[in-house]
Amino acid sequence: MKFFAVFALLVASVCAGSVPEPVQAESEIALKQQRIVVNIISSLIEDLILSIQDAGLDPMHIEQEKYEWALPVPAILNANAIVENVRSNGLSNIVINRLSFATLTTRLNFDIELPRVEFSVGGASAQVSTFGAKVEGRAHGRLAISRIRIVGEVRVSLGIISGISIRNLRLDFTLGGIESDLNVVIQGHDISEPLNDFIGVRIPRALHSHRAEVNELLEIIVLEILEEIL
């Protein structure tokens, strides 16, 4: 969301700084302002990439972690889990396919994607106890998500009194696919096949079938956040 906030503030500054000039000079000023906006947004994305990497999220490697949780009265509900050799990579590989800004129409167009994000776990086990009954499970395997892509257009209005407001926001989210190769056993029952089918086949199919609804939801969420920021 910092991405949009800085974009909006920058639009206000570059547009407010425009002064009447000959046509050729105005064109040069517009091109300069466009480059300024694009360069700053590109820098923000680079900062995001570095933040992800500095946080140890890409690449990520967890040799072993143990987790425990319980209610104040553990006999009612308690749980513990252990994971080993957890890895992920690709989360910071943010690719800018297209990024442009039109000064006169205050319109930003972008096409950004994560080409491939991979997760794997060497081994995991968990146990949940509630009122004396126990549920146990174990898992290992890998998951890969390809081409997480968002194409969008943001248009803003500028007013001396009203300030900055979003005039139009359009987003288009697509997913290249999900490769699911998980091995999961719960209470001795192997649920790997239906789980992999659900993650690798049904979820991408549902996202594609309901693309318009997914985009509409994303636009509503992002617009509400932007309006709070602005």
Q: Domain residue spans in the chain?
A: 2-58+90-121+141-229
> Which position has the higher pLDDT, 196 or 38?
196
The two tokens of residue 32 are 């300069």
Residue 51: half-sphere exposure toward Cβ, Cα within 13 Å:
7
Q: What is the pLDDT of residue 230?
A: 61
Q: What is the pLDDT of residue 158?
A: 62
Reported as a pLDDT band with limits 50, 70 and 90, residue 130 is very high
> Which position has the higher pLDDT, 188 or 163?
188
Q: What is the pLDDT of residue 207?
A: 95
Q: What is the pLDDT of residue 216?
A: 95
pLDDT above 90 (res 65): yes
pLDDT above 60 (res 151): yes
Amino acid, res. 188: G
pLDDT above 60 (res 7): no
> Which position has the higher pLDDT, 6 or 136?
136
> Which position has the higher pLDDT, 9 or 101?
101
Q: What is the pLDDT of residue 18?
A: 47
Which DSSP string corresponds to 10-32?
HHHHHHHT-----HHHHHHHHHH
The beta-strand segments (E) located in the chain are 60-70, 78-89, 95-102, 107-130, 133-159, 163-186, 189-190
Reported as a pLDDT band with limits 50, 70 and 90, residue 11 is low
Q: Looking at 70-79, 158-167, 214-223, which range is the least confident one? A: 158-167
**Cβ distance 214 to 171 under 8 Å?**
no
Q: What is the pLDDT of residue 201?
A: 96
Average pLDDT across the chain, whole number: 86
- Rg (C-alpha) for the chain, rounded Å, is 24
